[in-house]
Amino acid sequence: MMRKNPWKLAACVFGAAVLVVSALPAQEVASNIVGYVKVDLMAGDFSLLSTPFNQVGGSANTVAGVIGDQVGDGSSVFVYNGANYDAATKLPVIGWSPGTLELARGAGFWIQSAADATVLLMGEVPEEDTTVSLAAGDNLVGNPVPVEGTLTASGLAGAPAGTSAFFWNGSGYDAATSLPVVGWSPDSALQIGEGFWVNIAGDFDWTEPAP
């Protein structure tokens, strides 16, 4: 796989996020179950994350809503747009700029915290099946549902042979490739709250059932 702009942010040594998952009872403001993923961030390091939840009340998954004030001023988030990165930075008084940067469910994003921090990615568990549309080439994605699994046990099992997935391990990437007959090798885990890259030859719809 050709290394180009999508991997530019990974040129340094980044810290890996520690993921802990728990479910909370339904609340009055939510129409379904509310859950969260706990992520520990190290100061100055980059972590590759993804939220599997919808915002409570149906509001958009923006950096202001998903991350908010859980990290300090000077922290940054980067979202891959298919060619480069859209960025948001947390500023004193103002907060996130722009605060409307979308952190869509099923999409991955890089976060760099200015100080050690614990972040809760939280919201409503999706009630319906989720389809993540992959475009030919590089896609920065994440498990769109809060259910741990593997590549073979996911909707990516149907991806064409030659498709590759790349998982950040803190200093480089662990790769998996879909092979003819064999399928995914290795059958890498899909962690809750973790972002990863998929390189695919053509457009493909990845669908995950509701939990």
Task: State which residues of the chain have pLDDT below 70.
Answer: 1-31
Q: According to the model, what pLDDT value does residue 2 have?
A: 32
Cα–Cα distances in Å, from 175 out to 1, 91, 161, 164, 190? 10, 36, 14, 7, 13
Question: Shortest CA distance to 79 belongs to which of 69, 67, 92, 91?
Answer: 67
**In which element (H, E) is residue 66 found?**
helix 63-66
Output the six-digit token pair for 14: 């980044």
- Identify the DSSP state of 158: G
Q: According to the model, what pLDDT value does residue 26 have?
A: 35
pLDDT by residue (tens digit) across 58-113?
889 999 999 999 999 999 999 999 999 999 999 999 999 999 999 999 999 999 99
Q: According to the model, what pLDDT value does residue 58 have?
A: 84
**In which element (H, E) is residue 185 found?**
strand 183-185
Q: According to the model, what pLDDT value does residue 152 have?
A: 97
Alpha carbon distance 104, 101 (integer Å): 9
Alpha carbon distance 21, 147 (integer Å): 9
Say whether the peptide bond before residue 211 is cis (omega within 30 degrees of 0).
Answer: no
Q: According to the model, what pLDDT value does residue 32 have?
A: 74
Q: According to the model, what pLDDT value does residue 13 have?
A: 26
Q: In terms of DSSP bridges, do strands 109-112 and 46-49 run parallel, antiparallel, or are they unpaired?
A: antiparallel
Q: According to the model, what pLDDT value does residue 33 have?
A: 87
